[in-house]
Amino acid sequence: MAVYSGENSVESKSSLSGIAPLEAVLFDIDGTLCDSDPIHCHAFREMLQEIGFSGGVPITEEYYIENIGGRHNDDIAKILFPDDFQRGLKFTDDKEVMFRKLAPGQLKPVKGLHKLRKWIEDRGLKRAAVSNAPRPNAELMISILGLSDFFHAVILGSDCEHVKPHPEPYLKALETLNASKDHTFVFEDSASGIKAGVAAGMPVVGLTTGNPAHLLMEAKPTFLIKDYEDPKLWAALEELDKMGGTAISTSGA
């Protein structure tokens, strides 16, 4: 195991102090607000097996992470059905219907989410959800999690010319909230999403809810956490408060 010291320590990297005073917080949805990847993976596995994809051999979790997780459905359609894009689009649409049937009974918030929600609300911070998910999925997940009144804006890939890993969705969120990238940070769980946030010029806190840490680190997050109860996160938030507090918003974004 590597030993870290000095400026290369884990502690020194687990900092958000450079963006004080904090103005806004941006969240991905799938895998970030809720651990939805197991539901998506199950739906893809069942439906792909039904049509004899890959000889009828069920896709593995590794295949899902590498080829599907965090991607927009247009990209997934091209990967799964490279010779028949329209069939791919129809397949992904049908899969989303299956996801929405399964989600109400299975979807749970990432541990500590509501504690973090209170911290954000108590400081009057601006907040937005930014996702590649289809609108019906995004709205359903936000509703199930009880966050319909929490977000000031919901920015989806369908609202943008480019989807994650392009920075446009996060840049659009900043514009919609009238927030500065210099005083905003992002929560993400996929390499694609982390790349989008970093490319938009913001620190990104990565969650290891569904993707391996080594894969996420390649996308250059500021640091990684297990969930929203991770002491590393709360140490960084406490440091933010000490460094300059928050830029309290009274506009309601």
Q: List residues with catalytic annotation.
A: 28, 30
Burial code of 171-196, b = ≥16 C-beta within 10 A, e = fewer? bbbbebbebebebbbbbbbbbbbbbb
The residue among 198, 237, 206 whose CA lies nearest residue 224 is 206
Q: CB-based contacts of 226: which residues, under 8 Å, 6+ apart?
A: 207, 208
Q: Which amino acid is at 225?
A: I
Give the separation between CA 80 and CA 22, rounded to whole angstroms: 41
Give the separation between CA 51 and CA 61, rounded to whole angstroms: 19
Q: CB-based contacts of 27: which residues, under 8 Å, 6+ apart?
A: 33, 127, 128, 129, 130, 151, 186, 187
Task: Fill in the DSSP letter of residue 57.
Answer: P
Question: What does residue 132 show for φ and ψ, rounded to 5 degrees?
Answer: -85, 0
Q: CB-based contacts of 71: which residues, under 8 Å, 6+ apart?
A: 79, 132, 192
Apex 205 CA angle, 133 and 109, nearest 5: 55
Listing DSSP states for 144-157 in one string gives: HTT-TTT-SEEEEG
Q: How many CA atoms lie within 13 A of 172 on its CB side?
A: 20
